[in-house]
Structure 1
Amino acid sequence: MTSPTIPSESTGGESLLTVLVALVANGLLAAAKSAAAVATGSASMVAEAAHSWADTGNEVFLLVAERTGRRPRDEEHPRGYGRSTYIWSLFAAFGLFSAGAVVSLWHGVTELTGEEAAPSYTVNYIVLGVAFVLEGVSFAQATRQVHGAARHFGLHPLRFVSRTSNPTLRAVFLEDAAALLGILLAGAGIALHQLTGEAVFDALGSIAVGVLLAFVAVFLMHRNMEYLLGEGLTPELRSGVIAQLLEHPQIERLTYLHVEYVGPQRLFVVAAVDLTGDDREGDLAVRLRTVEAEIERNPLIEDAILTLAPPDEPALTP
């Protein structure tokens, strides 16, 4: 059990680097967009500033999630602290909804009936152009990590993003993708305002950014809640766990298996097994505890509980 046969999604170092790159990019952009929004009065730029400030706060939450989720298990938390990652990521998603989507929607709606401003289009275009480049750098880092892990699992990158147990990677990837699309929406609203002279298009750009952020935030909140409630494994990963257990030299047969995530790439395993040999009951109990400890040496398995399999139950196969 020293070399895991269950495929690993990514390393913690990669996730941490992805979050740090996004934090730096969003912090710089939030300041620049805020200055442009104050200087020009553009509704779309206000929405983009709110978006970047929300993303900056979210990255702080995600850094806390990465840090707390890595704490080793103890007597009070025998299955570790991995689920705290989903809690902090849930806070981040709610922050995106409240500080990003709601502000963008509210400002866009109020600007529909407000007085028409005369923004400096050049300033807006320059800030949005720089923002697109910086967001692109952050998105490229997240995309590299996603594509590498998706190939490892044989999945389409977007399907991997939806199914991954790593909430920080999912959040950074989707937030950066939304940021790039939001810049295009804001730019389109500002350009239509310039071409037609109608400020309503600028306000509609703000509303479009708000709708986009709301969709991403609700999706992220839903996925984090699913993992907090005990997300199970896909059939492919479940087969991998069965195969790994049966590779143990002391496990002869497996009749029951329950596996759930207790954190990013952290599994809680309950299994009913037949051990090799014909030991007495007391000796079997000792051997079961020994096998559990050996299984837990796998970095992907946080906690394992083994019981004896009833003789009349059918065996599980990978």
Structure 2
Amino acid sequence: MSLSPSRSAAPPEATPATGPPGGEEETRGTVYVALAANLAIAAAKVVGGVLSGSSALLSEAAHSVADSLNEVFLLASLRRSRKRPDRKHPFGYGKERYFWSLLAAVGIFVTGGCFSFYQGVEALGSTSDSPSGGYAVALAVLTVAGLVEGASLARALWQVRREAAANGRRFVRQLRLTDDPALRTVLGEDGAAVAGVVMALVGVLGHLSTGDAAWEGGASLGIAALLVYVAHRLGKEARGQLIGEALGHRTQQEIHDFLTRQPEIDEVTALLTMRLGPGAALLAARVDLVGGTDSEEVEDVCVRIKRELAHRWSELDHVFLDITDARSARRSGPTQA
């Protein structure tokens, strides 16, 4: 016997949601801050790179242009993921967030990583060892860029700290467990941006002090490697979520234990979960009821269990319970992805 899913907006009781109320608006604000910072910095880096001829600064300019484009992708994902479920997408549009996050990862790789690699190879093959004029501008731009990128990173880390406090978690644990792809992308971009500025400063200062352009070539290649790594990590996470990632093992085990504790349930024979978006998930469980439960009680039992599940785990937007015979079903614990 299979019953229809339930949806509930009940507040969490045992396991808190991934983020506090208003988390999406905070994420939107974080993305806007990052976009404004990257647009201003990209323009300054382009001007400074052209005036100084610094390959490291031009690599950083490409980095900021890529980040700006990605912030536009993330804003689009925040808007599109809020569309209500319809006949074509009955589980909603939450995975739009993961799709646009994947595009952002591709943008970091192509626009930032590939251009920085080209600049590095060109600088290493350069025959000119004397730095051109305008390097004071390059140093000033990189210093200001580091401060602005640092402020944007601090804004994203502040949001993680707020979510950690709301969820009763330590900061590092929240940083690792957050399932908001937009916030993850901003953190990755801003962290890479700060590290990239440091690399560019080292390259420019090394070039100025030694007269060897290989310093800047090495800095550009380092920036390229950093961007490729960030793009790989973000793309891998987005891919896992797009193809249907289960809830964490601990959460699955908690749900399994909760179901087995119900007096009407004899055994949980299968438990499947899938993330539908940040703070939204689907649960499908096959359970065997104890003997003697008549058909009139089944409906009331399932409604109560679904209500309690949504109350304890607020991310469970869709809950399916399938009543079956444990003797003919495969006995198993939580199914892991």
| TM-score calculated relative to the size of structure 2 | 0.83
* Residue identity matched to 2:89: H
1:128 aligns with 2:137: no
* Residue identity matched to 2:221: I
Aligned with residue 180 of structure 1, among 194, 203, 207: 194
- Over residues 45-64 of structure 1, what are the superposed CA-to-partner deviations in whole Å (9 max), with x where a residue is unaligned? 10000000000000000111
Q: 2:70 maps to which residue? A: 58
> Identity rate of aligned residues, in percent?
33
Q: Give 1:38 deviation, angstroms.
A: 1.1
* Equivalent pair of 2:206/2:215 in contact (CA under 8 Å): yes
Aligned with residue 196 of structure 1, among 210, 221, 228: 210
Aligned with residue 9 of structure 1, among 18, 35, 58: 18
Q: Give 1:148 deviation, angstroms.
A: 3.8
Superposition RMSD in Å: 2.9
1:305 aligns with 2:320: yes
- Over residues 73-113 of structure 1, what are the superposed CA-to-partner deviations in whole Å (9 max), with x where a residue is unaligned? 22221211111111111001100100000001012111222
* Residue identity matched to 1:303: H
Q: Give 1:220 deviation, angstroms.
A: 0.6
* Residue identity matched to 2:236: H
**What SS class does the counterpart of residue 262 from structure 1 fall into?**
strand
- For residues 129 and 176 of structure 1, the distance between their equivalents in structure 2, rounded to whole angstroms, comes to 15
Q: 2:44 maps to which residue? A: 32
1:284 aligns with 2:292: no
When structure 1 is superposed on structure 2, of 216-225 and 305-314 the one drifting more is 305-314
Q: Give 1:292 deviation, angstroms.
A: 4.9
- For residues 157 and 114 of structure 2, the distance between their equivalents in structure 1, rounded to whole angstroms, comes to 27
1:48 aligns with 2:60: yes
Q: Give 1:251 deviation, angstroms.
A: 6.4
- For residues 294 and 259 of structure 1, the distance between their equivalents in structure 2, rounded to whole angstroms, comes to 17
* Residue identity matched to 2:322: T
Structure 1 segment 12-161 matched on structure 2, within 5 A: 12-116=24-128, 117-150=131-164, 152=167, 154=169, 157=172, 160-161=174-175
Gap change, CA 1:99 and 1:299, over 3 Å in 2: same
* Equivalent pair of 1:97/1:214 in contact (CA under 8 Å): yes
Q: 2:3 maps to which residue? A: none
Q: Give 1:6 deviation, angstroms.
A: 2.8
**What SS class does the counterpart of residue 73 from structure 1 fall into?**
coil
- For residues 109 and 293 of structure 2, the distance between their equivalents in structure 1, rounded to whole angstroms, comes to 58
Higher relative contact order (CA 8 A, sep 6+): 2
1:233 aligns with 2:247: yes
* Residue identity matched to 2:193: A
Structure 1 segment 209-288 matched on structure 2, within 5 A: 209-242=223-256, 252=265, 255=268, 256-273=270-287, 280-281=294-295, 284=298, 288=302
- For residues 255 and 80 of structure 2, the distance between their equivalents in structure 1, rounded to whole angstroms, comes to 26
Long gaps (5+) in structure 1: none
Q: Give 1:235 deviation, angstroms.
A: 2.2
- For residues 237 and 264 of structure 2, the distance between their equivalents in structure 1, rounded to whole angstroms, comes to 35
- For residues 253 and 162 of structure 2, the distance between their equivalents in structure 1, rounded to whole angstroms, comes to 22
**What SS class does the counterpart of residue 282 from structure 2 fall into?**
strand
* Residue identity matched to 1:300: E
Gap change, CA 1:153 and 1:267, over 3 Å in 2: farther
Gap change, CA 1:155 and 1:226, over 3 Å in 2: farther
* Equivalent pair of 2:287/2:326 in contact (CA under 8 Å): no
User: What is the number of equivalent residue pairs in this alignment?
Assistant: 315
